[in-house]
Amino acid sequence: MPQHSTNQKVVFITGASSGIGRSLAFAYASHYAKQGLVLGLISRRETILSDMKSQIEKEYKSIRVEISACDITSPSTPTLLETLTSRTGIPTIMVLNAGIGHQGKQIGQGDISDDAAVIETNLVGAMRVCHWVVGVWERVGCVGHVVGVSSVAAWRGLPTSAAYSASKAGLDVYLDALRVEKYGKIKVTVLHPGYIDTPINDMMEHRPYLISADKAAQLVLSRIERGVRQAFIPWWPWTVVARLLAMLPTWVLALAARKFTK
């Protein structure tokens, strides 16, 4: 196990090959171009990560990028993360961003294995990575920062997105428990994006208040840097929408859902 270096910032990002994670890797590289930074990029598609490594290291001489082709649903994840850490040093920030979308089906329709895959990736996969990094920080006595990329969908069980909402609500509650267990030791930030223009949702007909992945990554980076407890991405209108969603009577949501799914 490599030693923890107190002055080297090492940021691990899961789901770094696409969308928010990819843009966040470039945003970090640009932001730390002067001070330097080590990035650990994690996802299943190794070729994309390898291209990103070349691109970032060519453009930003002070940024070192190491990659790991890792499926976070696999039990081999901790071993792969150890190998990555032997090249980067111990991560100081772990961004739990990898995720998959829902199939747009109601409960009882289609195959349950699709819903199980959403939970397995967005919740159990994120827990697997989080469990590993917290264990490492405990062993070396290091103060780390966990960032969970959740969703506005965590604020209410959304029709035709039940498994997705459940996965994100589960992640929120899991990270809240971490916050309590490691109070004063580990910083926890939970981010709730609205609609961000990425492949996860580009098949959807309605994507209100859509923003680009680059814009979202800038907001994500600034919230991580400020060490906030929770934030919506972007702030407007999701701060209001999420709270309204949580308060709406079931019949109002059911009527709205019928209108949108017609």
Ligand X SMILES: NC(=O)c1ccc[n+]([C@@H]2O[C@H](COP(=O)([O-])OP(=O)(O)OC[C@H]3O[C@@H](n4cnc5c(N)ncnc54)[C@H](OP(=O)(O)O)[C@@H]3O)[C@@H](O)[C@H]2O)c1
User: Can you read off the two tokens belonging to residue 209?
Assistant: 């208040």
Q: How far is the CB of 234 from ligand X (least distance, A)?
A: 11
Q: How far is the CB of 233 from ligand X (least distance, A)?
A: 8
Kindly tell me which of 92 and 121 has the beta carbon lying closer to ligand X.
Answer: 121
In the complex, the residues that contact ligand X under the rule CB under 6 A are: 14-21, 43-45, 71-73, 97-100, 121-122, 125, 149, 151, 193, 195-196, 198-201
Q: How far is the CB of 177 from ligand X (least distance, A)?
A: 19
Q: How far is the CB of 16 from ligand X (least distance, A)?
A: 6
Contact 100, 115 (CB under 8 A): no
Kindly tell me which of 17 and 88 has the beta carbon lying closer to ligand X.
Answer: 17
Kindly tell me which of 46 and 138 has the beta carbon lying closer to ligand X.
Answer: 46
User: Phi-psi region for residue 19, left (φ > 0), alpha (ψ -120 to 50) or beta?
Assistant: left
